[in-house]
């Protein structure tokens, strides 16, 4: 590990306790320190260093947050990235296998990407 990278490999194995697994969904969320101000995201083929507010797939009923979904068919690369220019922080996630569905979310308009 270096000061600017935290490599991680995750392998999952699920074993049924009583019968075959017919359908399994896993939701993995990464939430960032709220002192960071991730305003722009790069989701190749979906967002080009834009705020999720610019192209929301889902808007929370009270308008407090939005999500931008991505799917294997919509991604043109195998990663997503977010940037906080004020705090000079960059975060990217590369997928060995693309998820069935993924999302990038942001809190209140003009707020932080989650």
**Model confidence over 91-105: pLDDT tens digits?**
888 888 888 899 998
Q: Residue 94 domain-assigned?
A: yes
Instruction: Give the chain's domain count.
Output: 1
Q: Residue 90 domain-assigned?
A: yes
Q: Residue 72 domain-assigned?
A: yes
Query: Per-residue pLDDT for 1 more than 50?
Result: no
Closest CA to 57 of 5, 4, 104, 23: 104
Average pLDDT for 9-36:
78
pTM exceeds cut of 0.85: no
Q: Which range of residues forms the domain containing residue 46?
A: 40-107
Residue 79 is predicted with a pLDDT of: 92
The whole-angstrom separation of Cα 107 and Cα 75 is 23
Q: Residue 50 domain-assigned?
A: yes
Closest CA to 91 of 29, 4, 3: 4
Q: Residue 25 domain-assigned?
A: no
Which distant-in-sequence residues (6+ apart) come within 8 Å of 86 by Cβ?
37
Give residue 4's pLDDT band: very low, low, confident or very high (50, 70, 90): low
């Amino acid at each position: 590990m270096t000061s600017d990278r935290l490599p991680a490999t995750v392998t999952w194995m699920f074993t049924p306790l009583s019968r075959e697994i017919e359908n399994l969904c896993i939701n993995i969320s990464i939430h960032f320190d709220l002192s960071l101000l991730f305003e722009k995201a790069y989701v190749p083929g979906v967002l080009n260093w834009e705020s999720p507010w610019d192209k929301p797939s889902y808007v929370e009923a009270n308008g407090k947050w939005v999500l931008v979904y991505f799917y294997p068919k919509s991604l043109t690369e195998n990663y997503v990235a977010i940037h906080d220019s004020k705090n000079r922080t960059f975060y990217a996630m590369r997928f060995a296998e693309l998820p069935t569905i993924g999302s990038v979310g942001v809190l209140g308009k003009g707020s932080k990407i989650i």
